[in-house]
Chain A
Amino acid sequence: MMVLANMEFDWRDATVLFVLWLVQFLQPGLRDIVAIAYGVWMVVLATEFVVGRKVLLAPQYCWEMIRRKHDRPAPL
């Protein structure tokens, strides 16, 4: 969820997710280390949101979507 909280998915996100999955796939014994790596990554992401390097857009947009009244488009 935190990966997409800025409403973008870029090459860094994809690479980190893939590498962590691959490590655990090839070396199941490293699951604890992989879990720690996920935790560290979450801390890095949280820090980026706090310092403003990334913008936390998903909660804001979600709230807008919940509050918005929707007009259904006219049928063809």
Chain B
Amino acid sequence: MITRVPYVKVLALLSTAGGSALSALWTFPAILTSAFLVAWGAEAAQFLISQGVALAILAWLQTLPEFAVEAVIAWDAGREPERAHLAIANLTGAIRLLLGLGWPMIYFVFAASSRNRAAGGAQHAAPLLPAIRLEREHALEIMGLVPPLLYFGVILLKQRFTWVDALVLLALYVAYLWLLFRNAPRGAEHAADAPAVSRWAYRQPGWRRPVAIAALLGGGGALLYVTAHPFLEFVLVQWVAPFLSEFPEKVSAFYWARRVTHAPMALMNMVSSNINQWTVLAAMIPLCTATPAYAIMACGWISTSTGPSGSRSCSPCCSPASR
């Protein structure tokens, strides 16, 4: 009996490890599949609606796991105010990861692919490190970053983040979407550059076309959410959770960056996700908590207020480990 107990423990450990390995076997391909489905859907959708709107829909689908994580953390923070800093930590970690890892990786994948193409028989020598040149219509996404960033300056100045700020951020996102909607879809002549699945969806006759595109986007999004959700229940906030939840975004962005001509679209995918994070994802924090307000220190640390009278010291959440 004495020897059996460790034996059982080892068996349990092995079975758990085996289960994890088995689940990794199917979840990883499933996440990849979902990332490709939504990317193909977005590529087909840009011929029906503007590319900006297609990318905004894509950003929504890709950030679904992030929303799930943020909602859980913010909800918990409402009940346990000492956990409030985790909500901001997850948000800032996600933004930092997209900007600091996502954008540069797109560039380096693009540059490497450009070199490979040049070596593969281009007529003239390509520059060693070419720049990604954005199209005129992408200016809307770039300038779309400005209002939420400026408004976050206001939030930092007043050191409070309330549901009113959440509504302002949501309104900024709606205005941004409205501007994107006014843009024209891509011309059908560009459809030849799209991958076969996107072309198939776009070439469906009549009502089947939007249904096929919606099926790609919706199916990919649903698969992504169902697959990623169990992994997000263990939350190592700020680095691991954002990395896991942003993995699908990076897959589709790198898929486009590799095709060189689609590198601007890959970059705009990231910018669209950034705008989504700065507005809707951030707005979820005060909306999902029951606490009356957040007081954000200018340094980016956070504490919850104890009531309308004022905010508590942020010392418990200012330890390096909690950042």
Contact = CB atoms under 8 A, between A and B. Distances in A.
B138 A7 contact: yes
Contacts of A29: 320
A36 interface: no
B10 interface: no
A60 B186 CA distance: 21
B246 to A, nearest CB: 13
Contact of A66 (B134, B179, B186): B179
A22 B149 contact: no
A63 to B, nearest CB: 8
Interface residues on A, range: 35 or more
A43 interface: no
Contact of B131 (A8, A21, A59, A62): A8
B133 A61 contact: no
Interface string B95-115: 011011101110110010000
B129 interface: yes
A9 B134 contact: yes
Interface string B204-246: 0000000000000000000000000000000000010000000
Contacts of A74: 188
B13 interface: no
Given A9-B134, A70-B182, A73-B187, A17 B142 contact: no
Contacts of A31: 323
Nearest to B138: A7
B267 interface: yes
Interface in A7-33: 7-11, 13-15, 17-18, 20-22, 24-25, 28-29, 31-32
Given A8-B133, A9-B132, A22-B100, A62 B107 contact: no
Contacts of A8: 131-134
B104 A14 contact: yes
29 contacts: A1-B145, A1-B146, A7-B139, A8-B132, A8-B133, A9-B267, A10-B132, A13-B103, A14-B103, A15-B104, A18-B101, A21-B99, A24-B100, A25-B100, A58-B139, A58-B143, A59-B139, A59-B143, A62-B139, A62-B140, A65-B136, A65-B137, A65-B139, A65-B140, A70-B183, A73-B185, A73-B187, A74-B188, A76-B202
